[in-house]
Amino acid sequence: MSNATLESYLEEKGYTSSRNRDLPVVNRAYKPACLIKESEAKETPVFFKLEKSPHVIVAGLITRRNLLYELIGKQGDPVAAYNAVSSFNRKIEYSVQGPLPGNLEISNDVSILPWIKFYGKDGGFYLTSSIIISCVNKLCNASIHRIMLSDTGEIAVRLVPRHLYFMAEEAFKKGEKLPVSIVLGVHPLHMVAAAASPPMGVFELAHSTRILGGSLYSSPIHNHPIPEASIIVEGWITPERIREGPFVDAMGTYDRTRLEPKLVVEKIYYRRSSFVQVILPGGKEHSLLMGFPREASIFESVSRVVPKVHKVSLTPASGGWLHAVVSITKNNNGDGKNAIMAAFAGHSSLKHVVIVDEDIDTDDPYQVEWAIATRFQADKDLVVVKNARGSTLDPSADNGLTTKIGIDATKPINGGEIYEKAFIPGCNK
């Protein structure tokens, strides 16, 4: 087995012994969400099994931003991590080996998949960590999508208007179904790559595979390039629309019910007793994995207009999506406002952004509020953009149309010691 698997990551962290322990076997409704929420509060992974499932479930692996930096191999260096993720936008060549190595069991029974009902009003049982891979005209795409199993046994895939959505629509216009390969239980770096949004034609998993030094393999039926995985589902996205939702989004609120394409499963290939990662909707891991590629794009955009960007943090309370704090070094007093506009350009869903100086920790809400309290005047330092395209995840937006606010909480150039925070020599607090 190569070093590009979920198991190798768990082994590196010293967690693989969990498979051999007596793990709790829990009902698929709600109890898993309780266990994951408790683990995220402790910032430690949790392992358990689901009824009638041959896999070991792991959750809460990536609950702190520094774990993301380490995952990408940058050991606590946010700028290096941003640059690495930004490089995912470039097309690179990749090779595909033969079939996935090892013995795989085969099933037509979708009930063995790790379906979970997380919240009280969920529309069905969900897969939340599924990467869907499809290729059209030798251009391949990998992206994370929620998949819902209804009470009637039908399966719906939520497609937002990005690459997979347009690939499916093109197939539907021709009267065809879109062949897809769905992988679960992959190295977490593949999850980060699949959450990115590079230009069409850039295969996201080629980048994560290169960083990991692993290989891509040919999926059993559709011959799509897939990484090593605990589960491979071969199937078709069809033009038939069925109900999907409600589902809890990154904001911790219910996304509305929609009609989404139906997924038809042809075959399931899996390794018994292997690990499968589950993401709690609206949890820490959800916001970090979804938001981090956008932190990288904000960093890249702001870096074009100011001398130096130190750190970007999409805030946990905003689902790691709607609010950002960006620390910069200024050359001119207008740099803060330029940084605001560049941040909005770097992440179109961004609703509020606060620009701070390099002496402010973007992950510390106390320090950020202190900067706003001491370095910001609303009549001079506030930027308001009305009727801008934002995010449909914001329930207060009008179908995604929103008002955006930027706060320049940086001190004036040569502002003097009145803007400095007092410190005690020899004391690190």
Marked catalytic residue, from 122, 249, 255, 408 = 249
Q: Token pair for residue 309?
A: 């960007």
Q: Distance between CA atoms of 147 and 263, rounded to whole angstroms?
A: 9
**Token couple for 263:** 């997924």
- Integer Cα distance of 87 and 199 in angstroms: 12
Q: Give backbone dihedrals phi and psi of 260, rounded to 5 degrees, phi first.
A: -125, 160
Q: What is the DSSP string of 321-368?
A: TSEEEEEEE-SSTTHHHHHHHHHHHH-TT--EEEEEETTS-TT-HHHH
Active site (annotated) includes residue 151: no
Whole-angstrom distance, CA of residue 406 vs CA of residue 112: 47
- What's the rounded Cα separation, in Å, for the pair 377 and 269? 59
- Token pair, residue 345, equals 């350009």
First-to-last CA distance in the chain?
Answer: 46
Torsion of CA 229, 235, 240, 241, to 10 degrees: -10
* Contact assessment for residue 194 and residue 142, using Cβ atoms and an 8 Å cutoff: yes
**Tokens 């330029």 belong to residue:** 338
Q: Which helix (H) or strand (E) holds 34?
A: helix 31-42
With tokens 């704090």, the residue in question is 325
What is d(CA 95, CA 217) in angstroms, rounded to the nearest whole number? 9
- Is the distance from CB of 395 to CB of 370 less than 8 angstroms? no
For residues 246 and 125, give the distance between their C-alpha atoms in angstroms, rounded to a whole number.
11
Rg (CA), the chain: 22
Task: Kindly list the catalytic residues.
Answer: 249
